Amino acid sequence: MGTQPLKERILIVGAPAFAEDLGGMFLEQGYPTAVLVWDGEPPFALSPDLEAEARSAALALEILPFPIESKQALIALLDERLPPEAPLLSLCLTVSATQVARWTRRPGRVVGFAALPPLTRETPIELAIPLTGDPTALKPAKAYLERIGLRIEVIRDAVGMALPRILCALINEAAFAVMEGIASPEDIDTAMKLGMNYPRGPLEWGDLLGLDLVVAILDALEAEHQNGAYRASPLLRQMVRAGRLGRKTGRGFYVWG
């Protein structure tokens, strides 16, 4: 009777569905995985689990899109507790990997990644190393994610990475069109699916991502570029204020049952 070689311990901390879905993929491949869920709302109530798990982790994934203060606190704590050689993958949708690296004492271990919820094995993952980072950190990070079956593309570090930028710009334009009353949300999504062969309508996609995340990404892009191209539609802001965030709250551009 043979024994399985022990696999490295993985630590995943962050937003509920996202962290759990990713954790499930590591568990399926037999990695001892700790998933600690935190939506980023203070108080920071993860210790002592987090501290214990961090000390024994070979790889940590931080998956908190916002708020940024919570993300920074979490990154600093992970950096402090993780073994020095453990790579730290950080979800970079609203900050650059370079910014995340600045919150650590070991920028060389930081790798930024972007993926859009809902996470499945088909979700493409973008990886980027910080400007101050270490290119050799890419290899283990990429290897872990490929071993759980994810598709990886390496890009240069920039706020919003690639797909979140394209998708949020599409959603924003569709939201402007709704705000201006040029067409109904249903007709806009139908038009983009039938006229452009898009796999989903942009507004349906916004509802799936969460409109709070869409606005957070657009705001981060606008703050970075300061050129007006990412100015979020006021309708999106109103919907976030109203709690109409999309599927997760039962209502966004559509009503979700």
Which CB atom, from 52 or from 223, has the smaller least distance to another protein?
A: 223
In terms of CB distance, is 73 or 154 closer to another protein?
154
Nearer to another protein, 5 or 228 (CB): 228
Q: Which residue in the set 29, 47, 184, 238 belongs to the binding site for another protein (CB under 8 A)?
A: 184
Binding residues for another protein, rule CB under 8 A, total 45
Contact between 229 and another protein (CB under 8 A)?
Answer: yes
**Comparing C-alpha atoms, which of 210, 235, 255 is closest to residue 66?**
210
- The helix (H) or strand (E) run that includes residue 90 is strand 88-91
Report the site for another protein in 191-220 (rule: CB under 8 A). 191-192, 194-200, 202
Q: Smallest gap, in angstroms, from Cβ of residue 128 to another protein?
A: 8
- One character per residue 22-61, x = contact with another protein (rule: CB under 8 A): ----------------------------------------
Alpha helices in the chain (DSSP H): 16-28, 49-56, 68-81, 97-102, 138-147, 163-179, 185-196, 202-209, 211-225, 234-241
Binding mask 128-167 for another protein (x = CB under 8 A): -----------------------x-x-xx-x--xxx-xxx
Contact between 126 and another protein per CB under 8 A:
yes
Beta carbon of residue 26, minimum distance to another protein (angstroms, whole number): 20
Considering only 231, 234, 243, 256, the residue that binds another protein (CB under 8 A) is 231
Q: Which stretch binds another protein (CB under 8 A): 10-18, 19-27, 81-89, 224-232?
A: 224-232
Whether residue 209 contacts residue 167, with contact meaning beta carbons closer than 8 Å, is answered with yes
Interacting residues of 65 by C-beta distance below 8 A, sequence separation 6+: 15, 40, 71, 91, 93, 94, 213, 216
167: amino acid identity, one letter:
L
* Distance between CA atoms of residues 252 and 206, nearest Å: 8
* 151 closest CA partner among 35, 25, 27: 25
- Would you count residue 223 as binding another protein (CB under 8 A)? no
- CA–chain centroid gap for 235, Å, is 23
Rounded to whole angstroms, the Cα distance separating 253 from 64 reads 24
Tell me 124's DSSP state: E
> Nearest approach, Cβ of 240 to another protein (angstroms)?
19
**Segment interacting with another protein (CB under 8 A) among 21-29, 67-75, 101-109, 187-195:** 187-195
